[in-house]
């Protein structure tokens, strides 16, 4: 493993939507620090346009595993809330591998008692419910609320923000969530606006996972 190639955090967008990768890059770009690993955001162009179904998760899993197997890094971040390939990638490398769904969940539990997730589609809600059960954190889960937009439709930023605020208000007022997670990497630009509108902490999970990856890389280097 070449030192120059290894000294980076690879943030992997497992869908083929380069606009989502740009959103991720904007969310994590300021986390790099002098002397630390570079942060490189990449698009898996053979992936689905959006990870919206379990079939998309399975498709993305193989692509993530192949990519981690051939690309050197200090740590890897799988920048999809469904965490495709997370367990398999951890088996394939000794380097840290983080999924933004798992990392975002644990970050949220450090900011509040009950977390709610703003999802894109109803199918996403079902995967999030399974993820919560698998992580063993169901007592802290207030629920998920879908905004009814596909990954591609998130490009309509005004409509997306309006629906996200409505979903967040439902999770806050009806489900008693006191911290929210953005349940898709393509929602990243709306984090600050949601915090202002709803008065709750909002976790952007790509940023949370990348910050954790930087810390893990630093610890591994000591």
Confidence of residue 6 (pLDDT cuts 50, 70, 90): confident
DSSP single-letter state for residue 5? H
Domains detected in the chain? 3-101+207-221 (3.40.50.12500), 102-203 (3.40.50.12500)
Q: Where are the beta strands (DSSP E) in 56-201?
A: 75-78, 97-99, 115-119, 141-146, 179-182
Q: What is the pLDDT of residue 4?
A: 58
Tell me the C-alpha distance between 219 and 112, whole Å.
26
pLDDT tens for each residue of 111-157:
999 999 999 999 999 999 999 999 999 999 999 999 999 999 999 99
pLDDT tens for each residue of 74-111:
999 999 999 999 999 999 999 999 999 999 999 999 99
């Amino acid at each position: 493993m070449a030192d120059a190639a290894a000294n980076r955090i690879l943030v992997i967008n497992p869908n083929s939507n380069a606009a989502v990768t740009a959103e991720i890059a904007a969310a994590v770009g300021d986390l790099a620090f002098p002397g630390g690993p570079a942060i490189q955001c990449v698009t898996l162009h053979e992936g689905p346009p959006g990870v919206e179904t379990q079939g998309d998760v399975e498709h993305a899993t193989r692509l993530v595993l192949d990519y981690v197997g051939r690309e050197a890094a200090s740590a890897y971040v799988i920048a999809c809330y469904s965490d495709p390939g997370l367990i398999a990638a951890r088996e394939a490398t000794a380097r840290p591998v983080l999924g933004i769904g798992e990392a975002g969940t644990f970050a949220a539990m450090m900011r509040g008692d009950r977390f709610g997730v703003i999802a894109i589609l109803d199918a996403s809600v079902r995967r999030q419910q399974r993820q919560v059960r698998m992580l063993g954190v169901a007592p802290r889960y207030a629920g998920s609320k879908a905004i009814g937009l596909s990954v591609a439709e998130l490009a309509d930023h005004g409509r997306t923000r309006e629906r996200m605020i409505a979903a967040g208000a439902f999770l806050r007022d009806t489900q008693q969530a006191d911290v929210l997670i953005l349940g898709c990497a393509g929602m990243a630009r709306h984090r600050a606006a949601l915090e202002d509108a709803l008065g709750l902490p909002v976790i952007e999970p790509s940023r949370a996972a990348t910050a954790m990856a930087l810390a893990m890389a630093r610890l591994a280097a000591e």
